[in-house]
Structure 1
Amino acid sequence: MRVITFGTFDVFHIGHVNILERAKELGQHLIVGVSSDDLNIRKKGRPPVYTQYERMKIVSSLHCVDEVFLEESLELKGSYILDHKADLMVMGDDWEGKFDQFSDLCEVRYFPRTEGISTSMIIERVALDFS
C-alpha cells in the first residue's frame, strides 16, 4: 500500500515524527508532500522558518519516509494523489473532513494530533523567550 500525507513540517518536532511513523505503519511506501514557501504564506500568512528545500531535506532524511515532493497548491491534492498512485491519504485531525472529497481517489484517514505540541506554539514560546 502507498500512503501519502501533506504538511509544512516547519520547526520539525515530535508531532511530525509521530504522524509520519504512524502513516508508514499503514503501508510499504510513504510519500510526503511538503508545502512550498509560497503555499505556506498563502495558508498561514507568514513565511516558514525553514525554506522549502531545508524542510524537504529534513523530511526525506527520516527512516520512515520513502519519497518527498513539493506541494505547490492545495487545489492540486487530487492530482498529487493520482500522480503518486496513493492508496491512502493520512492527515492530522485538525483537517478532519476537509479532504473527504478525495475518498473516491484513495482511502482518507485522520490521525489525532500529538497533544501539547505545535509549530505555532514553539514559535510563540521562542518569541516570548527572546522578547
Structure 2
Amino acid sequence: MTTVITFGTFDVLHVGHLRILERSRSLGDRLVVGVSSDALNQSKKNRQAIFSESERCELVAALRCVDEVFLEESLERKREYVQKYAANVLVMGDDWRGKFDSLSDICRVEYLPRTPSISTTAVIEHIARTATS
C-alpha cells in the first residue's frame, strides 16, 4: 500500500485545496494530511487563521479523498511525521519546491502546482471587499 502525506493550513477551504488533496490522493492508496496548528499558522503567515485548528481538521477529514488527519505542530518535524505515518510519498505545493528534498532518502518527494488564481488570501480579500461594498 502506498501512503501519501501532505501538509497545509487549509483555512477557508476552497477548490484549490480540494484539487491539491485529490491530486495527492491519486498518487497512492491512502492520504494522510497534516493540518497546521494555530500556533504554526501564526508563525508561518503572521496572521491568525479564520477557522480554528479543530474546525480545519474537521473540514479536511470530511473530504472523501482524505483518509486521516493530524495536527502539524512544527515545520521542522516533517521527517518525524513521514516516518510516523509510514508515508511513501510526500506532496507539497510547488511554492515549497526544493525545501523538502532532504526527505528523499525516506520517501518520494513531489511538488504539485497550485491552482492558478486562487489562494486563501485572495478569498479573504474578496470577501472583505464584497462585505464593504
Range of TM-score over shorter length? over 0.9
Identity of matched residues, %: 56
With normalisation by structure 2, the TM-score equals 0.96
Paired amino acid for 1:40? N
| CA deviation after TM superposition for structure 1 residue 77, in Å | 0.6
Runs of 4+ more than 3 Å apart: none
- Counterparts of 1:116-127 in structure 2, within 5 Å, are 116-127=117-128
Number of matched pairs: 131
In structure 1, stretches of 5+ residues that fail to align are: none
CA distance in 2, matches of 1:102, 1:118: 26
In structure 2, stretches of 5+ residues that fail to align are: none
CA distance in 1, matches of 2:16, 2:100: 20
| CA deviation after TM superposition for structure 1 residue 87, in Å | 0.2
What residue number does 1:112 align with? 113
SS at match of 2:17: helix
What residue number does 1:90 align with? 91
CA distance in 2, matches of 1:21, 1:113: 12
- The C-alpha deviation readout for 1:25-55, integer Å capped at 9, x for no partner, is 1111100000000000000001100000000
Residue 59 of structure 1 pairs with residue 37 of structure 2: no
What residue number does 2:14 align with? 13
Alpha-carbon RMSD across the aligned residues, in angstroms, is 0.7
